[in-house]
Amino acid sequence: MQHTTSVFDLPEHLAAKADPALVERDEQLFTELSGSLEQTVTDLTARLATVRRSPAGHGQTAVERDAEIHRLVARLRGLRRHGPDLCLGRTVADDATAEHVYVGRQGLTDAAGEPLLVDWRSPAAEAFFAATPAHPMGLASRRRYRWHLGRVRDYWDEPLTPAALASNREDHGDDDGGREGDGGVGDALPDARSAFVASLGGSRTDRMRDVLGTIQGDQDAIIRAGSRGTLVVDGGPGTGKTVVALHRCAYLLYTDPLLGHRRGGVLFVGPHQPYLDYVADVLPDLGEDGVQTCTLADLVPEGAAAVPERDPAVARLKGNLAMVEAVEAAVRFYEQPPADGLLVETPWADLWLSPADWARALGSPDPGTPHNEARDGIRDEIVSILVDRLAEQGDDRYEDGAEVEDGAGLADDGAYGGDEGGDVSPDVLRAAVRRDAGLTAAVDRAWPLLDAAELVADLWAVPAYLRHCAPWTSPEDRAALRRPAESAWTDADLPLLDAARHRLGDPDASRRRARHEATVSSELEYRSQVIDDLVAADDDRESEVVMLRSSDLAEALAGAFDPDDVAHDHLVGPFAHVVVDEAQELTDAAWQMVLRRCPSRSLTVVGDRAQARGGFTETWQERLDRVGLTGVTVSPLTYNYRTPAAIMAEAEVVVRAAIPDANVPVSVRTTSGHEVRHGSVDELETVLEEWLAEHPDGTACVVGDPGFVGTSRVRSLAPELTKGLEFDLVVLVDPEALGSGVEGAVDRYVAMTRATERLVVLTH
């Protein structure tokens, strides 16, 4: 028989915990919470409808309206996902006269404006996550709830003072509900009665579980760290690095106004698509749906079809920071001023463009202007040089204001006089020079439009070009890098393609600008003719019709025609803050992809040096300093909350064989029943059938058997695609076939530590 109240739905063996003396205050809170939640959703829905009906406006008004709509939609989505289970738990102050503080996923008030829930990101909630018996932070105890389908299925009171501990024993006795022990770990670890330890053995799904209510003090301290500079979250398997990274995104967006959408927002970079699918629900559940998430491959168009680089030597060469500089040299190869001058013919005079003029024009773009986008400015500079030169020649045709030659010269108003005595405006002269076919062809040769993919492909296809751009490479290096022109791009190429695209800019920008200018010019010409006709037909020279000739009006008309819309790449940035998970895998070249999108250098870097497939012998500070990040702070996580100790013991032997100083975390879960099973590869189907029959819930993963076809509950993944994931059962097939050296050891280590309940190793 179950004891059920309005919210509490405790199993029979926990009936004592339903004593009204223990839950009455919570019952009252949950009742008020349900009513407030319903009213808040109604009010926010009405507010959203009002804002959407309001005029969009222009400029700052439009931006503020869009931001308000985004805020309301995000808050409504978060509230509608939950009922009373918005509440994570409560704190009881050491001061008996103080009110309990209830902590929620979002803040919520009652009709009088009094707080029912404080947002988990607020300072008032910090003690809920961070307090320990050694540092109670003014608390006597903390209660955490375990929710299921909107009902409390269990709760835990964690005493934080000796008096609270004695009281808790009186209320609940010494029964721990059959939960796992903590193996005698110290005060820094979760209490044996905590919701956190009790939840570690729960079945996994294809989505990361909601763990907000069980975040631990060491994790919370990192989540709440400031956004300035670069923070490295360093920890081994199961230490909660990904949990910290995701919740840190939500925390920073809530607390730091410099990181909002109008300031650039937050970019979250994960290691692979299965990982992004796994964590897809976490941020929306936290009320944040504006964080951009991607993999490194998503940052460039070629990433979708890129294949792994199988040659480690080639991967190292392409990942070298010097290779990024070779891309810069490859672009500069096309930015050299011509050694010969050029004669430009106009109806008024032949003009000489000298090599010095070429050098001046090609050096005119502002530093940092992308190559392709600089060309229009270079052409304009050349036209200015030639028009000024024509003016100088015109000045030479006058002496004391008298015309020396036959009417071709400078008129009194500064316009150029033609042979027939008419005036020619500077704009006409500029247009004539710009239309000169010879000059256009010369500019195209001197500063050609370049395509990023073609530029990088030429480096691999033309050894002489690569030698020119990367003189530090040896003949053997260039031979290894050589690829046929139609070869598939590899993941090692992507940082160089990104560098080339960033340096070159949009090759179509000039064409779009030209089309825009032609459209505006044609429309203005047509409207000018219409205005002239209207003015000519109006006898009143002071009427409002004459005002149509206003230059301000002409400018307004020109501004009515915007350039062609171009699909905006939301991953170009810049972003105010960037989070990189599994960052130990990034090469120096790959780091440049990240830093281009984060000029503020405000980053959260998450990783484990012992899980780097290519090896990681430096410190984090040394690695990041080399790529341009200084003042790095490293925050370690040292406890493994995922992997049972028996499994971790075997995994530790594997990784230390290749990386003796690997930072292997201490497992919290020490109870028996999680031993590693060894067998033959012929047993794969039997192992899976037995496990599926015994476990109606949960997920499994087969690692190392490409021929195995996954199902809805059993995944089949390569070891490198399991990073960041977790499964109840992991079956590692023929581990030695994964390779030797550091890469093979890391792949085995990563695969083994994905298991939360059972690991089976099958060999031939």
Structural tokens at position 338: 């011509």
Q: CA triplet 560, 566, 567: central angle to 5 degrees?
A: 135
Using the predicted structure, report yes or no on whether residue 381 has a pLDDT greater than 70: yes
The three-class DSSP label of residue 100 is coil
pLDDT attached to residue 188: 39
Q: Which of 732, 536, 534, 582 is closest to 650 using CA atoms?
A: 732
Arithmetic mean of pLDDT, 20-32: 92
pLDDT at position 78 is: 79
| Side-chain-side CA neighbours of residue 197 (13 Å) | 24
Q: What integer pLDDT is reported at residue 80 of this predicted model?
A: 84
Instruction: Give the pLDDT score at 544.
Output: 57
Q: How confident is the model at residue 325 (pLDDT cuts 50, 70, 90)?
A: very high
pLDDT above 80: residue 733 = yes
Query: What's the angle, vertex CA 661, arms to CA 657 and CA 664, rounded to 5?
Result: 85
pLDDT for position 207: 81
Q: What is the DSSP string of 326-378?
A: HHHHHHHTT-PPPSS-EEEE-SS-EEEE-HHHHHHHHT-SPTT--HHHHHHHH
Distances from the Cα of 29 to the Cα of 7, 83, 109, 194, 347, angstroms:
11, 12, 11, 22, 88
527 confidence band (pLDDT: 50, 70, 90): low
Annotated binding residue at 238? yes
Query: Confidence class of residue 486 from pLDDT cuts 50, 70 and 90?
Result: confident
Q: Across residues 389-415, what is the average pLDDT?
A: 49
400-409, 516-525, 592-601: least confident range = 400-409
pLDDT in tens, 622-680: 999 999 999 999 999 999 988 999 999 999 999 999 999 999 999 988 766 677 999 99
Lowest mean pLDDT among 323-332, 529-538, 695-704, 753-762: 529-538
Helix or strand holding residue 128 (H, E): helix 126-130
Is 326's pLDDT higher than 90?
Answer: yes
Q: List the one residue out of 110, 464, 630 whose CA is nearest residue 102.
A: 110
Question: What's the mean per-residue pLDDT of the chain?
Answer: 84
Given a cut of 90, is residue 555 above it in pLDDT? no
Per-residue pLDDT band at 168 (split at 50, 70, 90): low
Check whether 242 is labelled as a binding-site residue.
yes
Flag whether 409 is marked binding. no
**pLDDT recorded at residue 570:** 83
pLDDT at 354: 93
Tokens read off for 375: 């060309």
Could you give the CA distance from residue 268 to residue 244 in angstroms, rounded to a whole number? 12
- Which pLDDT value is given to residue 523? 67
270 is in an annotated binding site: no
Between residues 198 and 218, the one the model is more confident about: 218
The pLDDT of residue 165 = 72
Q: Which of 127-141, 180-194, 537-551 has the lowest mean pLDDT?
A: 180-194
More confidently predicted of 523 and 413 = 523
pLDDT at residue number 512 = 64
Classify strands 115-119 and 108-109 as parallel, antiparallel or unpaired: antiparallel
DSSP state of 210: -
Our CA dihedral for 610, 611, 617, 622, rounded to 10 degrees, sits at: -110
In angstroms, the CA 182 to CA 722 distance is: 27
Torsion from C-alpha of 704, 708, 709, 715, nearest 10 degrees: -40
Query: Which tens digits make up the pLDDT trace of 455-478?
Result: 999 999 999 999 999 999 999 999
Place of tokens 């209320």: 171
Long-range contacts for 174-180 (Cβ within 8 Å, ≥24 apart)?
177/13, 177/14, 180/669, 180/670, 180/671
Q: In the chain, what percentage of residues exceed pLDDT 90? A: 58
pLDDT bucket at 176, cuts 50 / 70 / 90: very low
Q: Domains (ranges, CATH) in the chain?
A: 12-173+188-206 (no CATH), 230-301+569-637 (3.40.50.300), 645-762 (3.40.50.300)
Give the pLDDT score at 211: 82
**Cβ atoms of 676 and 759 closer than 8 Å:** yes
Cα–Cα distance for residue pair 279/308, rounded to 1 Å = 24
Pairing state of beta strands 266-270 and 577-580?
Answer: parallel
235 appears as a binding residue in the annotation: yes
Residue 197's pLDDT is 60
Return the closest-CA partner of residue 240 out of 267, 220, 270, 264: 220
pLDDT for 238 beyond 50: yes
Q: Could you tell me if 554 and 524 are in contact, meaning their C-beta atoms sit under 8 angstroms apart?
A: yes
* Amino acid 428: pLDDT: 76
Dump pLDDT digits (tens) for 677-731. 999 999 999 999 999 999 999 999 999 999 999 999 999 999 999 999 999 999 9
Residues 6+ apart with CB under 8 A from 55: none
Q: What are the φ and ψ backbone dihedral angles of 646, each rounded to 5 degrees?
A: -65, -40
pLDDT at residue 410 above 80?
no
- Residue 171 identity: D
Do the annotations mark residue 671 as ligand-binding? no
Q: Is 150 annotated as a binding residue?
A: no
Q: Is 240 annotated as a binding residue?
A: yes
**Structural contact between residues 579 and 288, judged by C-beta atoms closer than 8 angstroms:** no
> Is the model's pLDDT at 402 over the cut of 50?
no
pLDDT at 423: 55
pLDDT for res 674: 72
Among the ranges given (44-53, 236-245, 330-339), the one the predictor scored with the smallest mean pLDDT: 44-53
More confident residue, 398 or 75: 75
> pLDDT band for position 535 (50/70/90)?
low
Confidence at 763, pLDDT banded by 50, 70, 90: very high
pTM comes to 0.82
Using a 10 angstrom Cβ sphere, with 0-12 exposed, 13-18 middle and 19 or more buried, the burial of residue 34 is: middle
Average pLDDT of the residues in 60-83 = 80
Q: Is the pLDDT of residue 279 over 50?
A: yes
Pick 646 or 207 by higher pLDDT: 646
* Predicted local confidence at residue 408, as pLDDT: 37
Range with lowest mean pLDDT among 46-60, 483-497, 522-536, 598-612: 522-536
Q: Residue 508: its pLDDT value, please? A: 72
pLDDT at 213: 80
